[in-house]
Amino acid sequence: MRDAHSLERRVGIDHYVSDAEGTGGRLRVAPEDFRVREVEAMDSVDVDEDPGDYPNLLLRVTLRGWDTNDFARRLSDALGVSRERVAWAGTKDKYAVTTQLFSVRDVSPEAVPDISDADVEVVGRIGRDLGFGDLAGNDFDVRVRDADAPENAAAVTAELGAFLTGEEPVGGEGDADGDTATDGPVPVAVPNYFGHQRFGSRRPVTHEVGLHVVRGEWREAVLSYVGNPADAEPEGTQAARRFVDEQADSPDPDWHAALDEMPHRLRYERSMLHRLADEGDETDDDWRHALEAVPRNLQRLFVNAAQSYAFNRILSERLERGLPLTRPVEGDVVCFADRDAPERLSRADPDRTQVATGRRVEVMARHCERGRAFVTAPLVGTDTELAEGEAGEVERAVLDELDLAPSDFDLPGEFDSSGTRRAVLLRTDVETAVDADDDAYELSFSLPSGSYATVLLREYLKTTPQDL
């Protein structure tokens, strides 16, 4: 185990579980280097069925260089319908070739437009909008280019396999003189961290905003988002954020002037400043109302990011203490695997849990070894019940350090969260093909929905999270 990059530690990711040297390299040199295809969990009827019973047209779309939200907006504009009538199951990266489902309400198949860099297939009809539950997972084919040591991929794979089994790594010697490949898929595992992009790739602050929200610090929440410049941002953006901080520190803030300074492309920051300028900043309610100027899904994201940060911290603390992720210890909360998941996806069902105590510790350990169960940690909320034993000590210590308690998540509007639990281990099978002559290699794997490809890829590249 080795220390993570300093930027990753800002979001609670403290460790790599593989000790092998990284390969280095670059992702997404071209969109075709990062291919993602949804593992669908939605059945449709024939497109000619009665649209009264099945009002949503189901589309399978392959996108090249499109952000999911931007494509949905472009599709609704081309159809001449409200953006609210377009739905999808999972958001995908812009710098990729992605195949995913969209639904569009009250539209005929003949009206589906041609859109550049998008291959649109009409699949059928469904009776409701698509949602997150309609995505089982994703298949990935990733090419890493300009690698410093592509042959190191074999050693990383061997160590991640050993992390899953608890045994010594077997093999892992790459051939620096030519092409190498694994003999089929290799079972591996990594900590099921929330990836750096969960918190903002260039400026990871969403969890900071969320922590202030949960603590009832509405003024600090707004200023963490609107002010608080990051070195990775353009200088003009940094200057605008510094001006916000200056106004916040002054006895008579000029929010109209701060609005004038803020670039127009930062529309969420501008929305908050508009409310401060128009409605004042005298009370906590004023600041909360300013934060509520952003879309509801972003309001939820702030609190979700705080939960994700606490989860990452708990995983890192378990690793630091030597507590296993692959099997339970006394007092752990264990959930069973999702019985409906496709065979190639190792997916947890957080609604089916047991506390591992007494003889059940060994029973649940055998289930975990076979991929039938998972140790969990909390995404803390009002309904959260913490683990017992040393696992519970870890959870309580992290929450105490963050000044959080489950009852704190009883919040107004979209900020409220009941919480859940999440598997601490991410299992998959990885196929590796190394092309040392081209300083490149390819990885193929499948992950359940809600997990992050970057938490696997980081173990291979061992580079800054901004390069993931």
- Cβ–Cβ under 8 Å, residues 398 and 313: yes
> In the chain, what is the straight-line distance between the N-terminal and C-terminal CA atoms, in Å?
20
- 7 three-class SS: helix
Using CA atoms, how far apart are residues 218 and 282, in angstroms rounded to an integer?
12
Beta-strand pair 2-3/15-16: antiparallel
- In this structure, are strands 440-448 and 135-144 parallel, antiparallel, or unpaired? antiparallel
CA distance linking residue 406 with residue 321, whole number of Å: 24
- Residue-wise DSSP of 255-316: HHHHHHHS-TT-HHHHHHHHHHHHH-SSSHHHHHHHHTTS-HHHHHHHHHHHHHHHHHHHHH
* CA 428 vs CA 121, 185, 352, 434: distances in Å: 29, 9, 21, 19
Residue 465's contacts (CB-CB under 8 Å, 6 or more residues apart) are 5, 7, 8, 195, 196, 201, 454, 458
Which residue, among 361, 416, 414, 357, has the nearest Cα to 383 in the 3D structure?
Answer: 416
* Alpha-carbon Rg for the chain in angstroms: 23
172: left (phi over 0), alpha (psi -120 to 50) or beta: left
Among 340, 351, 328, smallest CA distance to 418 is for 351
C-alpha 115/C-alpha 437 separation (Å) is 38
Q: Could you give phi then psi for residue 437, rounded to 5 degrees?
A: -65, -30
Name 442's Cβ contacts closer than 8 Å, sequence gap at least 6: 141, 142, 143, 144, 432, 433, 435
CB atoms within 10 A of CB 217: 16
Active site residue 134: no
Cβ-Cβ contacts under 8 Å for 142 (sequence gap 6 or more): 27, 33, 34, 35, 442, 443, 444, 453, 457
Are β-strands 373-379 and 118-126 bridged in parallel, bridged antiparallel, or unpaired?
unpaired
* Residue that is written with structure tokens 């264990």 in the block: 334
Q: Catalytic residue among 33, 48, 67, 93, which?
A: 93
CA distance 211 to 170: 43
- CB-CB contact of 47 with 125 (8 Å): yes
Q: What are the catalytic residues?
A: 93
